[in-house]
Structure 1
Amino acid sequence: MKRPSGTRLPSLPETTPWPIKAIRTTGSIIALAFSVTLSTHAVETEKTDEPLNVLFIVVDDLRPELACYGVSEVVSPNFDRLAAMGMLCHRAYAQYPVCNPSRSSFLSGLRPDESGVVSNKVPFRTKLPDTVSLPQLFRQNGYYTAGIGKIFHLGQDEEARPVLFEDPLSWDHFYDGMRNAPKIGKTGVGRDLTNGRLPWCKWLAAEGDDNGQADGLNTSEALRILEERHGQPFFLALGLHKPHDPFIAPAKYFDLYPEDSTKLPEEPSDKSRQVQYAIPNAKDFSSFTAKERREFKRAYQACVSFADAQLGRVFESLDRLDLWSNTMVILIGDHGYHLGEHGWWNKVTVHELGARAPMIAWVPGAKGMGEPTEALIEFVDLYPTLIDYAGLEPPHKLSGQSLRPVLDDPSKPGKAAAYSQVNRGSTVGRSVRTARWRYTEWGPHGEKGIELYDHQDDSGEYYNLGGNPERAELVKRLKALLAKGFPEKR
């Protein structure tokens, strides 16, 4: 298919990272990102009558730790280029800050309380045996569907046995490189940061190249699918495992981050005492030394740059095959992540850092491409958005709404609120985020604690205003707004 004039991306970097010397001698990585932005900002698009393909990319445990989100020390040129070409969403929120519940939610179009999936141990089809998943609907409508890597977290095989990542009803083809990664990718220089106390908490600057890792193999498989299937409508979902723990990437990506350059969060000494349930168990990391904290964050960032390089390979293929003009590209992290903030080094919180995640959208013909948005967005909106552009009817009642208005006009505010939740045993934390406030209740009506944070003055959520008498009327209003998001549980 002929691409309209102006839709071609500029030349992309090789799959290996940019040379460290070249990066550092610019004086700032962000200067490179700006040069990319200038070259892609004036992208022209036009709508076609052909079905739009879907490339859906889910990056595991990715928080907005990217240059395009203002974290200039992170080397992420391919994330940044997609952000410059498409729409960078600054306020996109997962409905549950854990892999399986989050993915089950946006793949079903249902909130976690509706899906019943609120842990990593429940297969998607156990709770939703007859629900038509997002890729399944495209498959039913003539699209070739391929799931590569981790899209679903826990599914069932054709004999109803629990199995990681699979869902036969959704895919014409499924592949995961974890089953094929060579041994060399598990050797190298690294360290266990907790002496085995937390088995996942380790890093490795691995020997071998990108295809020594599952994500490299997954990307190679995605390129094969694009090459072989680009002549027919397709829904290709690529799940990148990194930066999920353990933090393993080829050594060249660690080389992008000199050991003494990692910046750790600075937190106010007068911050409020945490509500009991806000952080799962910060004692897990209380013995971390400054060296170990830097190692953890450096390894996470190295894995982000490794994931970025895989995107570069995919984008080059889209460019070469003339697919930008008829392919929607939606990229998200499945939820947020803490890198030491509030004493926590993981996910599983409804703090802003746990609930908020990256989202970048490229939609051919949408008028807002090339512009960022501050609109409130929920991941449960992804299902209705994609089927809206594909002209498909929803197979069941969806809990989100199409983002088409925002994608045409990024100045629109989006939703009035975004909702997230997390379980702590029998105690549930339910949270609502508005343009300015985050309000969280622990227990059915907040009897186990409430949190109120003012993002105008406290973006790190360090000062809990929930018990401030001057905010009583605001708490009352936000309590009512929270109830609207969880009507069956109030």
Structure 2
Amino acid sequence: MKKNPKIIPVAFGIHALILFPFSEISAQKKEEKSKKKYNILFIAADDLNNDIGCYGNTFVKTPHIDRLAKMGVRFNRAYNQFPLCSPSRSSLLTGQRPDVTGIYELQTHFRTNLPDVVTLPQLFKNNQYYSARVGKIYHYGVPGQIGTDGLDDPVSWDHKVNPKGRDKTEESLVKNLTPARPLGSALAYLATEGTDDEHTDGMVTNEAIRIMEEKKSEPFFLAVGFYRPHSPYVAPKKYFELYPVEKVPLPKEIANDLDDVPEAALFTKPAHWGLAEPERREALRAYYATISFMDAQVGKLLDALEKNKLTDNTIIVFWSDHGYNVGQHGQWMKQSLFENSARVPLIISVPGGTKGKASGRTVELLDIYPTLAELCSLAPPQKLQGKSLVTLLENPEAAWDKPAYTQVRRNQIFGRSVRTERFRYTEWDEGRAGVELYDHQNDPDEFNNLAKDSSQSVISKELAGLLKKGFPPTE
């Protein structure tokens, strides 16, 4: 005989008694849970390239970013739109390409040109999310503006925090290997005494965790902006000790590498700023030490999510504003259109979504805004120029024909580049100052410029057309 379902009484007023099966109550709770808003943990690293364990670098120690990659989807071919802090961040956060924001340098605020644009965090704030920023999300000059608002956008946030730690207060102790260059664009470093918590990024982490704990019962958009590994490379000594300087591997270089490279393509002049191999190893060791220091802060954030039982309802996005050359082609830092500068780490974890997978599709930082809007069912008031990555989050190998576009300004001319899964094609001053074509299937280090190779004329013409499509003339 079939048993009747267990029931509980629910009284309405004093006259009615309605009986509900437990199964119906359970279904109702599931529906309510499914309607609960996702939280967003939006983690930005500054000047981080793909020298990360989960991206295949076995020398650099990044156990916590690697752990995050196992929680979501790692994008192996993600690209920034302009390899310089403010242009890149302005593009990502407004959902508009640099030719629309008009931001090509570090001084102009994007609202000068787009006064009414609704930014990514502002969209969440306008939809009853608690929106908070700790550290560098919009542009700050590092190290000069640490502890200030920099080029912040106040209407994006309900709350903001600008920590300042010993990496800033002990700036006078920094060793500058390139003394002709200011600290923010120098190969300079300091291995400090003391703990992580005394550094700006440690303070950023602790403040972000405090906000997370305080706001865990309401939906939040928590933007956590780390200042490292941006130069000067400052971190506690223990992170430097992870990398014996004599064991630091330098990137592969070949003789006459630059013979077929346009002069406009080069940011670092002379090559390596004249540094010999020992000093380059010293600088690279310090860069890697600050990556591991920043990675440890990511680990604290992930631990706090778990401790506060927020992991199952929080979307995590980890990104860097651009890549970073560490000696490839004699180049250092950003502001070039070589792969190491244009490519960025991007990891997105969605509760209940795909875990531990990688996507080889070409995507852009510009795609983050529409992705988060779709995942959270929010409608941006302006048209976005990126494309939602939800399809790739569900199936990282899904069909995808979108290329990635990156540009840079070199004095008064532009370099513009298009990246497909196989090729990178670049024009300097619309080709008048040089053209580059690299076949990444056969030449991942971009040593062989095929732009003048007649056997590649068909693909060059095709990519030139794709480039023009991505950079239409502006009125």
Q: Does the TM-score normalized on the shorter chain lie above 0.5?
A: yes
1:82 aligns with 2:68: yes
Is 2:426 the partner of 1:440?
yes
2:85 equivalent in structure 1: 99
Match of 1:306 in 2: 293
Q: Is the 1:150–1:165 Cα contact (8 Å) retained in structure 2?
A: no
User: 2:263 maps to what in 1?
Assistant: 276
Count of equivalent residues: 434
Q: 1:238 aligns with which of 224, 230, 235?
A: 224
The aligned counterpart of 1:21 is none
Tell whether 2:474 aligns with 1:462: no
Match of 1:66 in 2: 52
TM-score between the two structures when normalised by the length of structure 2? 0.88
After TM superposition, list the pairs within 5 Å mapping 1:12-51 onto structure 2: 48-51=34-37
Task: After TM superposition, give the deviation of residue 241 of structure 1 in Å.
Answer: 0.5
Q: How does 1:314-463 map to 2 (within 5 A)?
A: 314-366=301-353, 368-443=354-429, 445-463=430-448
Q: Unmatched 5+ residue regions in structure 2?
A: 1-32, 142-147
| 1:148 and 1:175 in contact (8 A); partners too | yes
SS at structure 1 position matched to 2:274: coil
Shift of 1:72: 0.8
* Distance in 2 of aligned mates of 1:92 and 1:434: 11
TM-score by length of 1: 0.85
- Is the contact between residue 184 and residue 208 of structure 1 (CA under 8 Å) also seen in structure 2? no
1:146-225 mapped onto 2 (5 Å cutoff): 146-153=132-139, 163-178=149-164, 181-182=165-166, 186=170, 191-199=175-183, 200-225=186-211
Name the CA distance, whole Å, in 2 between partners of 1:201 and 1:183. 15
* Distance apart, 1:488 and its partner CA: 2.4
Q: How many angstroms apart in 1 are the aligned matches of 2:330 and 2:167? A: 34
Structural RMSD (CA): 1.9
Which residue among 471, 475, 482 is the counterpart of 2:456?
471
SS at match of 1:293: helix
Would the alpha carbon gap of residues 183 and 136 (structure 1) be closer, same or farther in structure 2, given more than 3 Å must change?
A: closer
Matched with 1:56 is: 42
* Distance verdict in 2 for CA 1:226–1:487, change over 3 Å: same
- CA deviations on 1:198-245 (whole Å, 9 max, x unpaired) are 433310001111122110111110010001001100000000100000
Query: What amino acid is aligned across from residue 205 of structure 1 in structure 2?
Result: A
Distance in 2, Cα, partners of 1:183 & 1:398: 37
Q: Which residue of 1 aligns with 2:23?
A: none
Identity across the alignment (%): 44
Deviations 1:111-162 (A, max 9, x none): 000111111111122222111000001000000000111000059xxxxxx9
Distance apart, 1:197 and its partner CA: 4.0
Give yes or no for contact 1:58–1:151 (8 Å, CA) kept in 2. Answer: yes
* Offset at residue 183 of structure 1 (A): 7.5
Q: Deviations over 1:257-311 (max 9, x none)?
A: 1121100012122535221111123217342011110011000000000001101
2:180, 2:458 → 1: CA distance? 48
Q: 1:103 to 1:197 in 2, by over 3 A?
A: closer
Q: Deviations over 1:445-490 (max 9, x none)?
A: 3121110000011111111100111111211111111111011259
8 Å contact from structure 1 (residues 254, 298) kept in 2: yes
Q: Do 1:187 and 1:207's aligned partners in 2 also have CA atoms closer than 8 Å?
A: no
Q: For the structure 1 residues 401 and 416, does the alpha-carbon distance in structure 2 shift closer, same or farther, using more than 3 Å as the test?
A: closer
Change (3 A) 1:435 1:184: closer
Question: Using the alignment, how far apart are the partners of 1:143 and 1:416 within structure 2?
Answer: 31
Which residue of structure 2 lines up, in the alignment, with residue 488 of structure 1?
473
Relative to 1, partners in 2 of residues 1:197 and 1:52: Cα closer, same or farther, differing over 3 Å? Answer: closer
Q: Which runs of 5+ in 1 are unaligned?
A: 1-46, 156-161
Deviations 1:155-206 (A, max 9, x none): 9xxxxxx95142110000011213xx24896279752202344433310001
Measure the CA separation in 2 of the matches of 1:218 and 1:190: 21
Would the aligned equivalents of 1:433 and 1:439 in 2 still touch at CA under 8 Å?
Answer: yes
Tell me how far apart the structure 1 counterparts of residues 401 and 173 of structure 2 sit (CA, whole Å): 47
Residue 381 of structure 1 contacts residue 402 of structure 1 at CA under 8 Å; is this kept in 2? yes
Per the alignment, residue 10 of structure 1 pairs with none
After TM superposition, which residue ranges in structure 1, 4 or more long, deviate above 4 angstroms?
182-185, 187-190
Cα gap change, 1:194 to 1:369, in 2 (>3 Å): same
